[in-house]
């Protein structure tokens, strides 16, 4: 079994990002992956719902100390009590990461994945430029199918 994280904004996520996340979650589940998320709402909850619809396991590494904050489709809730340090734990527990949408928390996870050589691909998210205005290379995908295909190729 492969563990793939889907990261993205929680409460306040755009509907379009949640729709992408739901499809990504479903495709990962259909491919036999276990989904790893931060366990909360928004993109995380949508990916969880998609994965669950395909019968996959969903691990929620929660920032707080209670499993009660996990979204409905989390099948394994792990309350870490680590606050935002759990972002790094999500990345560490995953063999690859799909980032959907833009937020500072999401960007921290993309950056940590790049820093630690965990393959990461971005859908509909923020981009980064260096101080000369050049884009910093970051794998992107236009469609959920492309993102999942890229990740599965990395894991095979």
- The nearest distance, CB 78 to a copy of itself, in angstroms, is 5
Token duo for residue 117: 């050589």
- The residue among 31 and 82 lying less far from a copy of itself, judged by its C-beta, is 82
The residues of the shown chain that bind a copy of itself, judged by CB under 8 A, are 3, 34, 57, 59, 61, 65, 67, 75-85, 87-89, 92-93, 95, 102-105, 107-108, 111-112, 114-116, 124-131, 136
Backbone angles phi, psi at 2, to 5 degrees: -105, 145
Shortest Cβ distance from residue 145 to a copy of itself (Å)?
18
φ, ψ of residue 121 in degrees (nearest 5)? -130, 145
Minimum distance between the CB of residue 27 and a copy of itself, rounded to whole angstroms?
20
Cβ closest to a copy of itself, residue 49 vs residue 120? 120
User: Which of 23/87 has CB closer to a copy of itself?
Assistant: 87
Q: Which is nearer to a copy of itself, 85 or 153 (CB)?
A: 85
Cα–Cα distance, 60 to 42 (Å, whole number): 13
End-to-end C-alpha distance for the chain, whole angstroms: 11
Q: State the nearest-atom distance from the C-beta of 31 to a copy of itself, in Å.
A: 17
Smallest gap from residue 89 Cβ to a copy of itself (A):
6
Helix (H, G, I), strand (E, B) or coil at 3: strand
* CA gap 10, 41 in Å, rounded: 5
Q: How far is CA 31 from CA 24, 51, 134, 155, in A?
A: 11, 10, 36, 12
């Amino acid at each position: 079994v492969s563990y793939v994280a889907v990261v993205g904004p929680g409460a306040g996520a755009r509907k379009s990002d949640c729709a992408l996340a739901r499809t990504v979650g479903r495709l990962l589940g259909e491919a036999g992956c276990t989904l790893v998320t931060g366990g909360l709402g928004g993109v995380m909850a949508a990916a969880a719902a998609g994965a669950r619809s395909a019968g996959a396991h969903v691990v929620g590494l929660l920032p707080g100390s209670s499993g009660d904050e996990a979204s409905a489709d989390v099948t394994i809730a792990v309350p870490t009590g680590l606050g935002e340090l759990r972002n790094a734990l999500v990345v560490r527990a995953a063999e690859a990461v799909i980032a959907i949408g833009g937020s500072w928390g999401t960007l921290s996870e993309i950056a940590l994945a790049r820093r630690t050589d965990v393959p990461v691909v971005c859908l509909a998210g923020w981009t980064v430029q260096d101080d000369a205005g050049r884009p910093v290379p970051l794998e992107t995908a236009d469609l959920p199918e492309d993102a999942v295909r890229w990740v599965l190729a990395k894991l095979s």
